[in-house]
Amino acid sequence: MSKPTTHFGYREVPVAEKTRLVDEVFSSVAKKYDLMNDMMSMGIHRLWKRHFVATSGVRPGHQVLDLAGGTGDISALLHARIGRRGRIILSDINADMLRVGRQRMEDRGIVGNVDYALLNAESLPFPDGGFDLITIAFGLRNVTDKPAALAEMHRVLKPGGKALILEFSKVTSEGLGKLYDIYSFNILPALGKVVANDEGSYRYLAESIRRHPDQEALAGMMREAGFERVRFRDLSGGIVAIHSGYHV
């Protein structure tokens, strides 16, 4: 019998291999990840992230889990809003990304009510109902079993808790979509080659965006995972979207 497969960019790979391949990508790009994000988006990713957190509804005292938190951009913004009574866990599946994230948080003087966890979003090591807010920014598309990750996010939220997903999505304008494709498959890999000495990883990242569920499909997956009051809103013409859902 053939082994089940899944997509890794535009390649089909055995399901058991995808986590390892994604891990290799992010180990390769960890040290240049923030620089590349700035160059790839001309700094716009920082505006997306600030809007994501500013509209999150996070409040002082909240218990927050930041999944695929990488180099700590979202955690740092959230930490400024949760106060001393709050707590945030910055997590990632990749040890190199998490190491960079922890160093960046400490360099910013963010210590105390921050914990760090190396974990897989598909199997969270937390009891039911422990978090007021769960965020995942630009990480869900790299998860092998997205329904499992969404179900786990729902499980560990408190009743009334909220999940927020910031992710690349489907461009809503045909004209913008054509320009975006040219950029993604020509300029982006070239930047990766010059700046990070890694053309292949950035070609994968461009491909992974195209394989990610579009806005409506992801909203449907969230509902299937048990979320209610699921909503999404596009930013920058659908280049990215913010999805939200509640554990009611």
Residue 230 has a pLDDT of 98
Residue 93 has a pLDDT of 95
Classified as helix, coil or strand, 9 is coil
Question: What amino acid is encoded at 71 in this protein?
Answer: T
In a domain, 67, yes or no: yes
- Find the CATH number of the domain harbouring 159: 3.40.50.150
- Cβ atoms within 10 Å, residue 106: 12
In a domain, 189, yes or no: no
Residue 188 has a pLDDT of 83
How far is it, in rounded angstroms, from Cα 94 to Cα 29?
Answer: 11
Contact criterion met (CB below 8 Å) for 139 and 70: yes
Residue 1 has a pLDDT of 52
How far is it, in rounded angstroms, from Cα 55 to Cα 242?
Answer: 10
How far is it, in rounded angstroms, from Cα 163 to Cα 227?
Answer: 9
Q: Which of 202, 207, 204 is nearest to 29 (CA)?
A: 202
Residue 17 has a pLDDT of 85
Q: Which of 12, 245, 208, 18 is nearest to 133 (CA)?
A: 245
In a domain, 191, yes or no: no
In a domain, 190, yes or no: no
Q: How far is CA 234 from CA 52, 135, 178, 210, in A?
A: 11, 17, 18, 16
How far is it, in rounded angstroms, from Cα 94 to Cα 25?
Answer: 10
Structure tokens at 167: 């992710």
Residue 167 has a pLDDT of 97
Which residues of the chain fall short of a pLDDT of 70?
1-3
DSSP per position, 71-82: TSHHHHHHHHHH
How far is it, in rounded angstroms, from Cα 72 to Cα 41?
Answer: 18
What is the count of structural domains for the chain? 1
Contact criterion met (CB below 8 Å) for 105 and 114: yes
Residue 103 has a pLDDT of 95
Q: What is the pLDDT of residues 95-116, one digit of tens each?
A: 999 999 999 999 999 998 999 9
Domain that holds residue 156: 22-173+201-246
| Phi (first) and psi of residue 120, to 5 degrees | -100, 125
Q: What's the N-to-C CA distance of the chain in angstroms? A: 42
In a domain, 59, yes or no: yes
In a domain, 57, yes or no: yes
